[in-house]
């Protein structure tokens, strides 16, 4: 009796997994969009590059992922992969597989560390990714660590969150932010000590492709005096 119950529950579990996997396979295809081409266009936009050669890259990916095969063949291959926990290649991190990326996130090693910042500290967070075709994503966030009880925005990989002073994507804009940081360092000022309003200004100007004002010693001294008064 108990064995029959366990077998029945296991059968229901397999049925649910099969239904979920089937929906996951067919729903994106019902939209009528090419998921590979859409993803490549998004990555090209994030990377700040001209969207040239997309059709050739799309055909290459479709061939490598088996998307040029009949739908029934894709479905059978997909189910075989799910049964082996093999989810094929990652578009954003090609030629690495999804299984390799999941393993990287679950294995703790000496190359990973957690960095903490005191409340009120300002820090930059740069994210960059590439594949065989070059840079596919580049982003920079300049954030302020929050104090307990203070409202904050959620940011990937930052816990619990932070106040966002600047958030830009695409290499041309990211490069200009890095140049703005270098310019402040050239003044002998730690960019983390610069006025938060300056980074908001840089964000607003670069967001509309305008040149931001340069940070100066005079602006920095005004910020330091204002900070002492408000503490």
Residue 31 belongs to some domain of the structure: yes
Q: Are residues 17 and 99 in the same domain?
A: yes
Residue 34 has a CB neighbour count (10 Å cut-off) of 16
Least confident range of 31-40, 100-109, 124-133, 192-201: 100-109
Q: Are residues 127 and 195 in the same domain?
A: yes
Residue 115 belongs to some domain of the structure: no
Residue 124 has pLDDT above 90, yes or no: yes
Task: Compute CA 177 distance to the chain's CA centroid, rounded to the nearest angstrom.
Answer: 18
| Boundary-marking domain end, from 77, 106, 135 | 106
Please give the pLDDT value at position 67: 74
Percent of the chain with pLDDT over 90: 32
Q: Are residues 126 and 225 in the same domain?
A: yes
Residue 135 has pLDDT above 80, yes or no: no
Percent of the chain with pLDDT over 70: 80
| Boundary-marking domain end, from 106, 130, 162 | 106
Helix intervals (H) in the chain: 2-30, 35-47, 54-65, 71-83, 98-106, 171-186, 196-207, 217-230
| Boundary-marking domain end, from 106, 133, 161 | 106
Residue 113 belongs to some domain of the structure: no
Residue 205 has pLDDT above 60, yes or no: yes
Cβ pair 93, 39 in contact under 8 A = no
- What domain count does the chain have? 2
- Rounded to whole angstroms, the Cα distance separating 200 from 207 reads 11
Q: How confident is the model at residue 53 (pLDDT cuts 50, 70, 90)?
A: low
Residue 146 belongs to some domain of the structure: yes
Residue 212 belongs to some domain of the structure: yes
Q: What is the mean pLDDT of residues 208-219?
A: 94
Domain that holds residue 158: 122-230
Q: Are residues 178 and 92 in the same domain?
A: no
Please give the pLDDT value at position 155: 87
The structure tokens 């529950």 sit at 9
Q: Are residues 140 and 57 in the same domain?
A: no
Residue 46 has pLDDT above 80, yes or no: no
Residue 204: strand pairing partners: none
Please give the pLDDT value at position 50: 45
Q: Which of 29-38, 81-90, 180-189 has the highest mean pLDDT?
A: 180-189
Q: Are residues 85 and 126 in the same domain?
A: no
Cβ pair 101, 90 in contact under 8 A = yes
Residue 199 has pLDDT above 90, yes or no: yes
Q: Are residues 72 and 129 in the same domain?
A: no
Q: Are residues 18 and 58 in the same domain?
A: yes
Residue 171 belongs to some domain of the structure: yes
Q: Are residues 85 and 146 in the same domain?
A: no
Residue 153 has pLDDT above 80, yes or no: yes
Please give the pLDDT value at position 122: 94
- Rounded to whole angstroms, the Cα distance separating 143 from 166 reads 7
Residue 34 belongs to some domain of the structure: yes
What pTM, to 2 d.p., does this model score? Answer: 0.55
Cβ pair 29, 22 in contact under 8 A = no
Q: Are residues 81 and 136 in the same domain?
A: no
Q: How confident is the model at residue 178 (pLDDT cuts 50, 70, 90)?
A: very high
Residue 226 belongs to some domain of the structure: yes
Mean pLDDT of the chain: 81
Q: Are residues 225 and 128 in the same domain?
A: yes
Q: Are residues 132 and 208 in the same domain?
A: yes
Q: Which of 157, 130, 102, 142 shows the shortest CA–CA distance to 43?
A: 130
Here the tokens at position 124 are 């930059």
């Amino acid at each position: 009796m108990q064995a029959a119950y366990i077998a029945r529950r296991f059968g229901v579990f397999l049925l649910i997994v099969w239904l979920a996997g089937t929906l996951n396979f067919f729903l994106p295809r019902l939209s009528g969009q090419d998921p590979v081409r859409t993803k490549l266009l998004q990555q090209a936009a994030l990377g700040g590059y001209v969207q040239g050669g997309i059709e050739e890259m799309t055909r290459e990916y479709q061939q490598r992922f088996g998307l040029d095969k009949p739908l029934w063949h894709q479905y059978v291959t997909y189910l075989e992969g799910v049964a082996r926990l093999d989810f094929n290649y990652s578009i954003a991190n090609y030629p690495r597989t999804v299984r390799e990326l999941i393993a990287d996130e679950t294995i703790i090693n000496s190359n990973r560390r957690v960095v903490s910042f005191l409340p009120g500290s300002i820090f930059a967070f740069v994210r960059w990714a590439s594949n065989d075709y070059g840079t596919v994503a580049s982003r920079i966030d300049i954030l302020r660590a929050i104090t307990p009880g203070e409202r904050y925005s959620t940011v990937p990989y930052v816990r619990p969150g932070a106040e966002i002073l600047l958030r830009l994507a695409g290499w041309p804009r990211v490069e200009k932010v890095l140049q703005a940081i270098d310019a402040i360092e050239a003044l002998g000022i730690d960019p983390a000590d610069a006025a938060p309003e300056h980074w908001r200004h840089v964000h607003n100007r670069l967001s509309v492709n305008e040149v931001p004002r340069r940070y100066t010693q005079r602006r920095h001294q005004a910020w330091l005096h204002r900070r002492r008064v408000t503490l």
